[in-house]
């Protein structure tokens, strides 16, 4: 069965889109047919994979996904591009319960051909993120190793549990991922210990190090594995990919 990972956190700047792009690329390189769905109106996942945002979002238009997905520079990795259209952003963000259910069912109906689908969500707990969660099998929450790392996670988990109650037996906690990890900082180790003590086994053993290569790669429309194959970030995302595959 296809694994649908909702990459979500209501805080911005935590490495959410970077994780979606690079984990997807690693999974594709491991032979998994993978799709990235860009639901963030900023469309960073789209541009980070070398494409321009779509004029209209395929999900708003109820367009068949196989007609809208784009190939990327990584074999086995496809992209459903995002849209910056104000009309589409408004339609996705303001969808009522019936519209959100239609969106969810439309999405679920065409994912069977993939091994993995990663949904890049906006930094929000709104309707769009909740719809993405309801269409997913697991949620991956990147959090930055900083003082406010735990801030808002309680709200995020409450939203996830609400979706679990509405759609029992589908969504699971995939894991919490520590990003921008700097082992030279005492604060990093304090956040690491606190998160693992509080959340236990749902925290990935893998951490993603702070690495300028991960920040530079999207400006070239490439994943970090292609842009800087020997970088610390590349190694981190390969290890994360192995851990995700092992958790199947």
Q: 3-class secondary structure for 168-216?
A: CCCCEEEEEEEEEECCCCHHHHHHHHHHHHHHHHHEEEEEEECCHHHHH
Cα–Cα distances in angstroms (integers) from residue 156 to residues 4, 6, 162, in the given order: 18, 12, 10
Tokens found for residue 141:
């929450």
Q: What angle in degrees, to the nearest 10, is found between the helix axes of 97-108 and 127-134? A: 40
Work out the percent of the chain whose per-residue pLDDT is above 70: 94
CA atoms of 231 and 209, how far apart (whole Å): 10
User: What domains are there in the chain, each with its CATH number?
Assistant: 3-246 (3.40.50.300)
- 49 falls in which pLDDT band (50, 70, 90)? very high
Measured CA to CA, the distance from residue 159 to residue 165 in angstroms comes to 10
Percent of the chain residues topping a pLDDT of 90: 63
CA distance 56 to 35: 19
DSSP conformation class of 50: T
Alpha-carbon distance of 248 to 239, in angstroms, equals 15
pLDDT, one tens digit per residue, over 77-113 is 999 999 988 677 666 666 666 666 767 777 777 788 8
Give the DSSP H or E segment for 3. strand 3-7
Residues 6 or more apart in contact with residue 157 via CB below 8 angstroms: none
pLDDT of 62 reads 78
pLDDT, one tens digit per residue, over 152-189 is 787 888 899 999 998 888 899 999 999 999 999 999 99
Are the C-beta atoms of 217 and 224 separated by less than 8 Å?
yes
pLDDT of residue 94: 65
């Amino acid at each position: 069965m296809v694994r649908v990972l909702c990459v979500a956190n209501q805080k911005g700047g935590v490495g959410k889109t970077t994780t979606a792009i690079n984990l997807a690329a690693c999974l594709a390189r491991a032979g998994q047919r993978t799709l990235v769905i860009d639901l963030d109106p900023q469309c960073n996942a789209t541009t980070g994979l070398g494409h321009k945002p779509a004029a209209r979002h395929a999900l708003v238009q109820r367009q068949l996904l196989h007609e809208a997905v784009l190939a990327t520079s990584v074999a086995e990795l496809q992209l459903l591009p995002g849209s910056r259209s104000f009309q589409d952003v408004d339609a996705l963000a303001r969808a009522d319960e019936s519209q959100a259910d239609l969106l969810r069912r439309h999405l679920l109906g065409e994912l069977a051909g993939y091994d993995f689908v990663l949904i890049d969500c906006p930094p929000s707990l709104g309707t769009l993120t909740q719809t993405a969660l309801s269409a997913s099998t697991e949620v991956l929450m990147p959090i930055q190793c900083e003082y406010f790392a735990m801030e808002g996670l309680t709200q995020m988990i409450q939203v996830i549990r609400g979706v679990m109650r509405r759609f029992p037996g589908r969504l699971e906690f995939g894991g919490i991922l520590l990003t921008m990890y700097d082992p030279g900082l005492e604060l990093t180790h304090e956040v690491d210990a606190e998160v693992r003590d509080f959340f236990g086994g749902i925290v990935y053993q893998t951490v993603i190090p702070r690495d300028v290569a991960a920040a530079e790669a999207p400006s070239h429309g490439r994943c970090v594995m292609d842009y800087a194959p020997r970088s610390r970030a590349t190694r981190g995302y390969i290890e994360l990919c192995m851990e995700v595959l092992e958790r199947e």
